[in-house]
Amino acid sequence: MLKGILNFAHYLLEESIQKDETVIDATCGNGNDTVFLSKIVGDNGHVLAFDVQDQAISTTKELLIKHSCTNVSLIKDSHGNITQYLSPTRSVIGGAIFNLGYLPKSDKSIITKSESTIAAVNSILKQLKKDGLIVVVVYYGHSGGQEEKESLLKHVINLNQKEYNVMQYGFINQKNDPPFVLAIQKK
């Protein structure tokens, strides 16, 4: 059975993240991925969850309370500044997820952008554990989305194959700019 895009993204992370690790939700939005990561790493793990919007931070906070998640640092800042938040004692990252685009049912002008997305991917790759994954769910049907998709693809296609495996997963017969998954594994 083929997995849907979000299920496949979660499946990859479930397979690669271990309990007690430090992991990243680079775009927390409504908090669904944050809760998902929080449960995988458990009470002694740590999730750093980023978003630039107040609405996303408060919605995620509520969801975390509802699910009794106490291992999350919610950070209202761009994931482009991620290195500022990685403590020296917890510097190895077990995995990360990005959901690109805009917050559903919200301001469509606040979108992820290639420059900060690529900067964050590069920062995480430096501290990612061996065999760890960065999983990016690429939505690109919105205004500004094509540019980000193309820049990101160009960047990851050129990652050195001796150091990284890069995979793309998506449904190629779907209409209207269907999202796809990019997964980068550090060798």
Ligand X SMILES: C[S@@+](CC[C@H](N)C(=O)[O-])C[C@H]1O[C@@H](n2cnc3c(N)ncnc32)[C@H](O)[C@@H]1O
Size of the site for ligand X (CB under 6 A): 22
CB of 34 to ligand X, least distance (A): 7
Stretch that binds ligand X, among 26-34, 37-45, 145-153, 156-164 (CB under 6 A): 26-34
d(CA 26, CA 81): 10
Residue nearest to ligand X (CB): 29
Residue 38 engages ligand X in binding (rule: CB under 6 A): no
Q: How far is the CB of 171 from ligand X (least distance, A)?
A: 18
Amino acid identity for residue 94 in this structure: G
How is residue 9 written in tokens? 């993204």
Query: In the complex with ligand X, which residue's Cβ is closer, 7 or 165?
Result: 7
Report the alpha-carbon distance of residue 69 to residue 38 in Å, rounded.
6
**Residue 137 · residue 6 · CB < 8 Å:** yes
Query: Which of 38, 78, 123, 185 forms a contact with ligand X (CB under 6 A)?
Result: 78
The reply to whether 118 sits near ligand X by the rule CB under 6 A is no
- When the beta carbons of 27 and 131 are compared against ligand X, the nearer one is 27
User: Could you give the residue ranges of the DSSP H alpha helices within 4-113?
Assistant: 5-16, 32-41, 54-66
Residue 71 within binding range of ligand X, rule CB under 6 A: no
Nearer to ligand X, 78 or 185 (CB): 78
The whole-angstrom separation of Cα 97 and Cα 2 is 20
Cβ neighbours around 74 below 10 Å, total: 19
Residue 42 Cβ vs ligand X, minimum distance, rounded to whole Å:
20
Please write down the HEC assignment for all residues of 93-113: EEEEEEECCECCCCCCCCECC
Closest residue by Cα to residue 56 from 9, 99, 117: 99
Taking CB under 6 A as the criterion, the residue among 11, 18, 61, 110 binding ligand X is 110
Q: Which residues bind ligand X (CB under 6 A)?
A: 27-30, 32-33, 50-53, 56, 78-80, 99, 101-103, 110-112, 116
